[in-house]
């Protein structure tokens, strides 16, 4: 089963956080979330892999990705959902 990529612009979106906080059903893989807005706090989503978009991600910054990596992730995902 392919990955569902969630692009989260606003980390305070209650519907997005509710959907992403629930555990995935047995036939689905865990969602991958990319926080698009700079400076936003990473949401606590225990069932998701979370990445933060940065122009120049540093090696020390855990889970930071570049724009080129985001494009790769979009093309590799089975579904992309923008919140």
d(CA 39, CA 42): 9
Angle at the Cα of 71 from the Cα atoms of 5 and 33, rounded to 5 degrees: 25
Beta bridge partners of 50: 33
pLDDT tens digits for 47-68? Answer: 888 888 888 888 787 888 899 9
Beta-strand ranges (E) seen in the chain are: 4-8, 32-35, 49-53, 64-65, 79-82
Q: Where are the domains of the chain?
A: 4-82
pLDDT tens digits for 3-30? Answer: 889 998 888 888 988 888 887 776 667 7
Answer whether 0.85 is exceeded by the pTM.
no
Burial 28-52 (b: 16+ CB within 10 A, else e): eeebbbbbeeeeeeebebeebebbb
């Amino acid at each position: 089963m392919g990955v569902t990529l969630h692009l989260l612009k606003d980390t305070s979106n209650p519907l997005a956080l509710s959907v992403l906080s629930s555990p995935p059903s047995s036939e689905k893989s865990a969602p991958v979330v990319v926080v698009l807005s700079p400076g936003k706090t990473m949401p606590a989503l225990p069932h998701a892999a979370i990445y933060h978009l940065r122009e120049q991600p540093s090696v020390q910054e855990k889970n930071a990705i570049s724009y080129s990596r985001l494009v790769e992730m979009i093309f590799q995902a089975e579904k992309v959902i923008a919140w």
